[in-house]
Amino acid sequence: MADRKLKEVLSRAAAQLKKAGVDSPALSAQLFAEKVFDLNRVQLIIELESSVDSEKLAEFEALVKRRASGEPAAYILGVKEFYGFEFKVGPGVLIPRPETEEIVEKVQQLFRADDKFLFADFGTGSGILAVTVAKLFPESQVVAVDLSASALTIARENALLHHVAERVQFVRADFNEPLLADAKFDLILANPPYLCEAELEDISSEVAEFEPVSALVSGPAGDEDIKGSAPRIAAALKKGGTVFMEIGYLQGQKAYEIFDSCAAFEGCVAIHKDLSGHDRIVVAKKR
């Protein structure tokens, strides 16, 4: 078999992925090539006319085949960028979304980089919020909570990867149950499941078939975890403490009512929109 040029390999892979109907086929092909052929983005362009090693080509084609089946590129690669940092991900955790980065921006507006504060991350998953905030605020301490043992394993790996493990305490627990109820936290971050069961049928097969349903679906109504966690958050926050919680884009009014009905937050609740103009973050301050 004649030597295959990298340019041809990428073109064929992109065409195969496009035919399979996956998102961003050309980008997926490039990312797999960077991983398998050990190239950065600039080198990938420079080496387009170079011949591809047959063993490496087989490895590359295996990744393309997995992607063509619908498996998310982040799971295949084992990493995903969040807020400019690279995080390990796997089938046991949700793939980080750009919308969640806006919670980090809210924290940066609330605290100075050298502030000392204690915060909790409810539903930490891969640890993106806990680790990113701990990294950006080197004087902070965090308690990261998740019910999934596999998620906490990945979160611990990310804390080690970003050199913040000594400031992160991991707790396996249901944050809808009584937990951390001694009013000691300055800040609580939360990204709970917020899809209703019916919405699972409408989302892409990549998400529904590969990402953990328990981290996506809250229950029949979709707001069960918001209702369950609001009083727990109120109990765990110090007076004057703040919560930032990500919600579904149709849940703004309902989430507002849930938090405002807690005496600790009454009159101190707002719903912030994401860059697309959708309701996305509940902000509530404990009175």
pLDDT tens-digit profile of 173-211? Answer: 887 777 666 779 999 999 998 888 878 777 877 887 888
- Note the pLDDT of residue 198: 78
Give the residue from 97, 90, 98 showing the smallest Cα distance to 72: 90
- What does the pLDDT average to over 60-83? 96
- Note the pLDDT of residue 181: 65
How far apart, in whole angstroms, are the C-alpha atoms of residue 242 and residue 264? 11
As a whole-number percent, the residues of the chain with pLDDT over 70 amount to 98
Asked whether 169 and 144 are in contact (CB, 8 A), the reply is yes
Instruction: Give the three-class secondary structure for 86.
Output: strand
| pLDDT beyond 50 at 148 | yes
Give the residue from 92, 206, 102 showing the smallest Cα distance to 155: 92
How far apart, in whole angstroms, are the C-alpha atoms of residue 171 and residue 236? 15
- What does the pLDDT average to over 272-285? 95
- Note the pLDDT of residue 206: 82
Give the residue from 230, 134, 124 showing the smallest Cα distance to 171: 124
- Note the pLDDT of residue 2: 54
How far apart, in whole angstroms, are the C-alpha atoms of residue 265 and residue 280? 18
pLDDT digits 0-9 by tens, 86-97: 999 999 899 999
How far apart, in whole angstroms, are the C-alpha atoms of residue 164 and residue 158? 9
Instruction: Give the three-class secondary structure for 282.
Output: strand
pTM: 0.91
